[in-house]
Amino acid sequence: MVLWLTVLRLLSKQTRHYAELNQSIRRRLEKSRFRPLTRQPGKRIKTKSNTVPVVQFKKIYLPRWTPASDSYRGGEDINAIRLIWPQTSVSKLKMQQRQLIHSFCRPKTGESAQVTMERAIAILALIRKIGLVLAPEVIEWDLSPLGLSKMPLRTLQRRMCFTEIAPAELSEHSNLFGPLALSFNTVKLREAGAMPVIYVPQGLSSPLSQLAIFCVNGAQHTKAVLGQLQQLKEVSDPQLAEIKFGHPVDPNCVLNLRNIDPEGDVVASYSVPVVHAQQLLQHIGFNNIPFDHSIGILEVFLNMFCPTDNSYNGEFLGYYRQREWRIIAGDVRLNGRAMGRELTSAEKKEVIAIDPFFWSRPLFINGNKICRLDLALLYEPIIGWNVFDHMESIYAPENVHIQIRGIVESQVPVCAIP
């Protein structure tokens, strides 16, 4: 009995001591007011009560207490470990406010800074006049490592891109992307539909590294499947068919369906009574979102996919480090209304006048060559939407501030690039 009482007293003493040590460690960490750092392994820290140790930390490894003794494993006394807060200005320690920036226009090879600036100011004036034009781009994804196709997968994107940066980073950013920078508050831009991109790492040597590209390819083909189902729905549903063809369709008619290969040859054909197609699609669509809604969702994904590596300059994770956001348009509808519309003939003339070479270049998509200008969309998610209502400021060299204020008037402040 005496032996048990002795053991219980020893355990109680050790437990109290352990709790006191934990509280001591916690108090020291709280007083430090700085992220957990660790002393360099293998170096003991010797300090005096009023001496600052000359030691650089990365993390703090808290030694493990051994119940068999009052020491820490490794023989280090907790009182010898001190956390010293460097004498640094508090203002430098505060995180700089980051903004979403769209800089334009990217300098062309051999182009003078003055010509680039004139083009940028012309673009700003056009945005003020007609709205935000989303330039189309075709992104190529290499499918050859997957064994699917020797030809790259081409996805069409209509978007405006923003980079999340701090003001101190703006000067270097503008040197690459253009001398004018539109600055947006993140909350306001999110309310306008902006989202961070979905980064897709390009494949390396292993099959698992191709997983993200496989998902992009899957999204593209799933959209194509849903597109065919939507087409069948439009010709088999009596009401939709009348809207599509402009006249009623005989409910007893037969649909002649054909599979055509890339060379244009018919490889299979089917005759399906229209009522059977209608009933089948009603069964598939029961309690599911409509096909055209699903197409819009996949269109969002396909517009948000962005490679992680910059293949143009060979920079590994080059795009990933840009912290990119986008607003997009395409086969995406909000309350049945398209988020972007095609440009009118008059608007196209004004757009192409600013940069004929860029806007007249053809893009290859789905085997077709289409002029870039014909694929552009004007971002208008709701009637009367104005990009300047969401803009916080415009950064530009001081020598063009008067010109810019003449365009935006007093709606948006004009600031010098930090």
Q: What pTM was computed for the model?
A: 0.72
In eight-state DSSP terms, residue 241 is: H
What pLDDT score was predicted for residue 85? 40
Return the SS3 of 23. helix
Residues of the chain with pLDDT under 50: 2-5, 7-8, 32-58, 60-95
CA torsion through residues 368, 370, 375, 376, sign: positive
pLDDT in tens, 39-78: 444 444 444 444 444 444 445 444 444 444 444 444 444 4
Measured CA distances, 297 to 59, 204, 223 (Å): 44, 29, 9
Domain ranges within the chain, ordered by starting residue: 2-93, 101-202+305-415, 220-294
Scanning the structure block, which residue is given the tokens 């290969």?
A: 261
Q: Encoding tokens for residue 321?
A: 């480090």
What pLDDT score was predicted for residue 269? 94
- Amino acid at site 216: V
What pLDDT score was predicted for residue 382? 85
Supply φ then ψ for residue 87, to 5 degrees.
-80, 80
What pLDDT score was predicted for residue 391? 93
Check: CB of residue 76 under 8 Å from CB of residue 82: no
What pLDDT score was predicted for residue 91? 43
pLDDT in tens, 356-405: 999 999 999 888 899 999 999 999 888 888 999 999 999 999 999 999 99
What pLDDT score was predicted for residue 28? 56
The answer to whether the peptide bond before residue 161 is cis (omega within 30 degrees of 0) is no
- Amino acid at site 348: K
Q: Encoding tokens for residue 254?
A: 């037969």
Those residues whose C-beta lies under 8 Å from the C-beta of residue 413, and which sit 6 or more positions away, are: 392, 393, 394
Whose CA is closest to 229, among 285, 173, 276, 186? 285
What pLDDT score was predicted for residue 201? 93
